[in-house]
Structures are given as structure tokens and as C-alpha cells.
Amino acid sequence: METNSSSLRDREEKLSPVKLHAAQYAIVVILVVLVSGLWNLQVLGAENYKAAAEANRIRKVPVLAPRGRIFDREGRLIVDNYPSTSCYLLREQVKAGDIPVIAAGLHLTVDQIQATLKHFQTAPKYQPIPLKQDITPDEQAFIEAHKNELPELDTIDEQRRLYPRDGFAAHLVGYVGEVSEQMLANDPRYAAYDPGQVVGRSGVEQTYDALLRGEDGYREVIVNSHGKEVGKLGQKLAVPGQDLRLSIDLDIQRAAEQALEGKNGAIVAMDPHTGEIIAMASRPTFDPNQFSVRLTQSYWSSILNNPNHPLLNKAIQAQLAPGSTFKIIMSVAGLQENVAQDLKVNCQGGASFYGHFYGCDRHHGGVNINTAIPYSCDTFYYTLAYKLGIDKIAQYGREMGIGQKTGIDLPEEAAGIMPSEQWKMKNYHQKWFAGETISVGIGQGAVTATPLQLLRALSGIASGGVLRWPHVLLPGQVPAEMQNAVRDTFPGSGEKTIPLSTENWQLITDAMANVTSSPIGTAYPAHLEGIDFAGKTGTADVVSGRQKGSKNKDTLPNAWFVGMTPRRNPDFAVAVLWEHGYWGNNSARLAAQVIDAYVEKQRAKDHNLRTVEAVKTPEAAPEKAAVPVVPAGQ
């Protein structure tokens, strides 16, 4: 007994108090870790695990909102939607062996499916992803017939964009497409989007995407362990996008498209009183319907490899020498500076400045400001540029918006160039040479402009110096704050009034009328009987020296024309750029087609209105012309 007691005392002496406390603390720490883990698992993480469990049982099926339709100013449909069915893939149920079967049934390649899976790899696994859009009836039948073997395939009904055929108004309305990884990574505007969502990618579709796209909804359905739908829980209805009415007139748009058919260039028409764009066409064009489903590589390659750049909206993006259309801006500068009134030159086919001879197309003889515009005499404007100097020319050019964006509510507008001494030093670190001023005086050299810039400038001059903000959306359709946001997104030179004396205004507009109505005018072949039609031609060289008779089309000059009706305070103005169209009077004929379509439509409206008045009242109001004719000199 004594021996046992002794052994027990030995063991107690061997277990020191320090070791005992350490063991106790270790046990406490282990218990704390276990309790903490259980707390995180059962309390803090309960919602996450509940959500994961729900995701295994409940599936959200997207209900896509139809985009708003697009109408012209008279409420005629331009862009519509059509019913379509797309195939979606439920990735949590995909088995590797199913992919070749799916590819064969949907007429895809295995690589295409793998690329789609990679594209959406960051999206939640339980979220259905679009596999193929706008599937055919036989592909729908394949999915239906293989529901049990391929539960990962599902179909969703949606509304898809339907654009006019033959690229009609394509650059204006734009197109839609999926949000790309590059857009998500580099453009903060798309931060709230998910991969695969459809957004406006150009034109009106892009500018007003927030209004047009609406808000997607969803259906909550109950699925079993095989992914088969066995019940419904609820839904959130999709909110359709807002319909929009543009300022475009389909009849005038059609006339512009027809005039430009088979040519490269642009036609843009505007109401100078409001800045509303009435028509905008660019050639070559493209088919936006090709972009509303998954774009084929062959079509995309044909677009990219086309040297005439079909995706370029030349009405607002072509930056080219304006040629003699710039002489109207020169005339304003010369008259307002009291230089042009008494300037007379004797044109003998050109003149020499700074030791260099600058040619003119003809021997015009004695020329003053009244005949310089209809003659389009280079010699007169060489001399005027010599007297004004480049900085004074640049001052008036900038005031009229040359070298600045107009701020039109369309993406990717170009600014053009209004050169000056400061501009050349800043961009090229070189001094301005006096001889360069002579070329700028006739719209050549470093000066470049877009058709819309020239349209706004020249129609603004014809409106007494009032330049409006060009826009394609009729007012009153968006909240004021969004309208301000659009203007902030597309800044321009804004609405402004250029001081222009009545005498100078009348002189310039009468001279522009003589361009089309007088036999001495460069656009006389395009004159329209009974219509007060004014304007200015431009023939802009694209190489050094005009190659007359050249068979190389790429060396022929660009043909410009900006015209309006009536000559003063015009109701309608149009600018035409015909790339390599040679003489400006060729573009004047195209403009005349558009002007004539506008006038005939206005006269038809006026006639219909008076017919109604004749029925309502005993005596009809007297007939009057829809477009007043202002005799020259008044």
C-alpha cells in the first residue's frame, strides 16, 4: 500500500504546474477555434449556404426586355423588333461528352462552344449563358427532342432588332451587339453590364441606349436534381425600352440615299432654324442586321478589308479639304474686316505670291466680291487670303465651327482642322510659311472639315449668322438632365450668333443664289425652276495638282456642294460630299435632287392643307408658293 502511494506521488511530482497550465490553454484554444468555425458555418455563413442551396433548387431564367422602336419625325417606323429564340447553356450540368453532340445539333464547332464557355468563365455557374442566338426551327426541334439527355440546354424567347434593308440609314441609326470583354475591361460606361448583354454599339442605338434597352426581367423556376423544371415560384416582368422619334424625314432620307447610290461620300440635310437633322446618308454602307445576331467572320472581314471604310459615317467623320465651299467663310471674313468690299482683281488664270504662281481654273477677267462667289475665282480668294493673313482667317473659321466638333448627338464625330500659326507650332514645331495662307484661302492646304461642319457653317451664314446645335432626336422625349448629359458627352461649339451686317449678309446670299441661278454660276446646271436655291460648289484636290483626264479615280478631286432654300433664313439646307466626284457641280446635281424632294413635299403639304381649308370655309385662302422666291438684289 505504501509502495502504491509512493508511485502516485512520483507521477504527480513529474507533472509540473507549467505543463498542466499549457495543456489547459491548448484545450481552450482548440475549443475556441471549433466554436468559432461552427459559428461562421452555422450563423455567419448561413445566408451564403442557403443561397447556394437555393441555386441548386431554384433557377432564374432571364426575360429579356424588347428594345424601344425607332420612328421618323412623322411617326413612320424605321427600326423594329422581331420574335426570336436563342439557346442558353446551363454550365453546372454540362458534361464533357455532351459538347460534341451539342455542337452537331446546333451547327456549331466544338471550338466555338469552348470559346463561349471561356468568354463567360467569370459569370456565376448557375447563370444561363447564351450559346447561340436566333436559332432555326430544326435547332429548336433538336433541343426539344434531347431534353432528357441534354438538360443543360434551354431556350429563351426574345425580341431581336430588325433594321431596314440595303443599309438604309445604317450610319445614323447604328447597330447593336454583345458587350465584349474589352468593353467591360476598358470602358466605364459598361461597368454595370454583364457579358453577353446586348447594347447599342454605334449611331442612335449607342447614344440613346439607356432609353432604348429597357430593363430585363426574370422567371424563378424550381428544378430537380437533373435540372428539369418542375414548378414556378415567381417572376419580375421585363420593362420594354422607350420608343424614340428622330428628326429624320423618311422621304428626304430616301431621296438622299438614292442620290448617293453607287458613289462614295455623304449627304446630310438640316433645318437651320432648329438644328434638326432631316437626312443623313453615307456610302458605302453596311447591313446592321448582320450585327444583331452573332457576326460572322466572313462578313466582318469584308467590312474591315473594304478600302472605302463602310463603317465610317462620312457625314460626321470624313475630314477632308473643303475646297471652294470655304470661300463663303473667306467672304464673311473679308467683308466683316472691310477688306473685300473694294477688292478687285484681274484674273488671268492665276496670280503670283511670294515668288510662286498659283493657278485658277479660268481666265475670269475683272472680278469683285459679287462675281467672285458665283465664278468661284481662285485668284480673288488668293488675294483676299494674302490681305487677311492666316490668323484672321483662322479666327473666322473657328467662330463658324471649323476645326471643332458640332456636338451632334452621335458618337465618334470628328473635329477637322482650322490651321493657324499657333496650330502649326504646337503640332509640328515649325513656323507658318506665308505661302501656306494662299492655299488655305481656297479651302486647300491644311484646312479640313466634315460635311456636317460645312453644312452648319454655311447655312448659319445664310441665316444671318445664327448657328444651331445639330441633333437627330426630336425634342421633348428625354428628361432635361439626360439632355444635358448628352450635350456633355458630345461637346461642340454650341449654338452661337456671329455678328454679320445686313448688307454683307444680303450680298453673300445673293451671290450664293447666283451660283445656281445665273449662267456664270459654277452650279448653274443644277438650277431648279421656281425654287430659290442657293449654294456653293467646291472642287478639292486630293493630290498635288489636279490631274485632268486622269483615268486613276483615286487622284480625281473630291466634289463638294452646300446648298439651301430659300437663300436667306433657309428652311432647308443640304451638304454633299462625293469622293473623287471631280467638279463641285456634280455634287450640286445630287443636292438639287434632295432640295427638289423637300420642296415638292412641302408644296404637297401646303396644297393638302388648303384643300381642307377650302372645305371648311366658304372661300379658300389664295394659293401661294411653299418656298418663296427672292429676286436677286433684294
C-alpha pair distances (Å), 115 with each of 108, 109, 458: 11, 10, 52
β-pair partners for 262: none
What's the N-to-C CA distance of the chain in angstroms?
A: 142
C-alpha pair distances (Å), 261 with each of 145, 164, 576: 48, 16, 13
Rounded CA gap, 112 and 383, in Å?
65
CA torsion through residues 614, 617, 622, 628, sign: negative
Phi, psi (degrees; rounded to nearest 5) at 60: -95, 115
All three cell numbers of 297, joined, read: 467572320
* Cα angle, residue 434 at apex, residues 512 and 555 outer, rounded to 5°: 60
- Which residue shows C-alpha cell 493657324? 420
**Quick one: residue 618, left, alpha or beta (phi over 0 = left, psi -120 to 50 = alpha)?**
alpha
Known catalytic residue at 324? yes
Whether the upstream peptide bond of residue 566 has omega within 30° of 0, thus cis, is yes
| 52, 56, 58, 64 alpha-carbon torsion, rounded to 10° | 90
Active-site choice (84, 202, 324, 376)? 324
* Cα angle, residue 255 at apex, residues 250 and 261 outer, rounded to 5°: 120
Q: Note the maximum CA span of the chain.
A: 147
E strands, 391-473, are 466-467
Q: Which residue in 257, 308, 319, 589 sits closest to 453, CA to CA? A: 319
Phi, psi (degrees; rounded to nearest 5) at 548: -65, 135
All three cell numbers of 548, joined, read: 485632268
β-pair partners for 157: 85
Whether residue 310 contacts residue 281, with contact meaning beta carbons closer than 8 Å, is answered with no
Whether residue 570 contacts residue 535, with contact meaning beta carbons closer than 8 Å, is answered with no
Rounded CA gap, 71 and 212, in Å?
12
* Cα angle, residue 279 at apex, residues 273 and 285 outer, rounded to 5°: 150
Rounded CA gap, 176 and 65, in Å?
14
Residues that are catalytic = 324
